[in-house]
Amino acid sequence: MVQKFKSLLLSFAAAAGFAFAGTDQVQAQTNDTTGISNLRADFSHTQTGRDLLGMLDVVGISVVFDSTIADAGECRDAAKQIAINPRIPESERSVVLAHETRHIYQRYGLRSGEWEETAITPSQFFSLRHYQEADAFAFGAFFWAERMHELGQNPDSIRIKSLSSTFAIAKDLLQEMQGDGLTKDEYREKAFIRAFYDLNDLGYNERHYLLAGTRVPIMEQLAGEALGNPGSEFGQQMLEVTHHYMSTMPDSAKFENYLRLFGGTSQDLSEATCLQTDSVSTKNLYLYPALALGPAALDRGTLDDLKALDERFLKTRRDIMALAARKAGP
């Protein structure tokens, strides 16, 4: 049933000109054996790096270079690949790989893809995507700081060309490591929360807002078919798939607990993250993504737009659930 719904959803998306999260684009690529070997060697210097390499090998993720991508790196779910932009300086590629490998952990360890396919609201989807990026940015900075610390590198001797904001966070984390050690509270304040501010400058607000909004008109169209043709076989099929999907909506407590799984510095789910503490309130959990919006985005009414999308989504859900209840009878 889930696969049937996903196929219908993707077909409607294609017809409507939408691009759904998780659909990979085939890109030109090069398997630079020497470059990949250098990256693996660089990762092997620290325990975190060795753990990350082990995870990639277990999951079966390959690493390639691709000069056609716009970003520093990207994950390709269907191809089970991480692509690195070779235009990134060689000295910074391992940090990009650490960032992208964190996304692999999110996909396979935290099962973020499955959560994105549940009936979460547009604003929850926006928050979840922002959490994934902030988590990866903060982790990349942690990886960099730990490597400098374990190798005894002086950050003032390192020239940065591409990843200046990540490096700034890494330097602050390094200071804590060199002192009395990095605490989870310090990691949250100096890395995880700061990463949200960088998302706006990197264009993630617009990307995630568009992705959050795609499912709303598609669901309205699917629900419209079910509501408009309640007596037909096709209408019944639309009711079945939309009702099944809408039934996957998690309650707010479950979604909150899931968000708290982000903000960690390892791949061990039994290790508490910087968000799994009473000092982080529910209100703060939902405020963090708003940090990425900033005053300019707030002036454009992004939060109001997300609220309006939520209302449309929830209305569609109410209509579908009511129709299903009427069909089921007393």
**DSSP per-residue letters across 232-283:** SHHHHHHHHHHHHHHTTPPPHHHHHHHHTT-S-SSS-TTS--TTSSTTS-HH
CB 94 within 8 A of CB 173: no
pLDDT value of residue 15: 42
**DSSP per-residue letters across 126-176:** HHHHHHHHHHHHHHHHHHHHHHHHHHT--GGG---SS-HHHHHHHHHHHHH
Which amino acid is residue 48, in one-letter code? T
Which amino acid is residue 127, in one-letter code? S
- For the question of whether the overall pTM of this predicted structure is more than 0.85, the answer is yes
Cα torsion through 159, 30, 204, 119, rounded to 10: -140
Rounded Cα–Cα distance for residues 92 and 160 (Å): 8
Backbone angles phi, psi at 95, to 5 degrees: -70, -40
The pLDDT profile of the chain, 330 residues, written as one tens digit per residue, is: 445 555 555 554 444 344 444 444 444 455 555 567 888 888 888 999 999 999 999 999 999 999 899 889 999 888 899 999 999 888 889 999 999 999 999 999 999 999 999 999 999 999 999 999 999 999 999 999 999 999 898 888 888 777 888 989 999 999 999 999 999 999 999 999 999 888 877 778 888 888 888 889 989 999 999 999 888 998 898 999 999 999 999 999 999 999 999 999 999 999 999 999 999 999 999 888 877 776 555 445 677 888 899 999 999 999 999 999 998 876
Structure tokens at 249: 């909506």
CB 117 within 8 A of CB 250: no
Cα→Cα distances 40→56, 118, 319, 328, Å: 11, 36, 53, 57
Query: Running DSSP on this structure, what letter comes out for residue 192?
Result: I
Q: Which residue has the tokens 């692509």?
A: 83
pLDDT value of residue 30: 54
Cα→Cα distances 142→52, 123, 148, 267, Å: 13, 28, 10, 13
pLDDT value of residue 22: 43
pLDDT value of residue 291: 77
Strands lying side by side in the sheet with 81-84: 62-65, 81-84, 73-76
Rounded Cα–Cα distance for residues 259 and 286 (Å): 9
Rounded Cα–Cα distance for residues 11 and 241 (Å): 14
**DSSP per-residue letters across 3-37:** HHHHHHHHHHHHHHT---TTPPPP---B--HHHHH
pLDDT value of residue 84: 93
pLDDT value of residue 182: 96
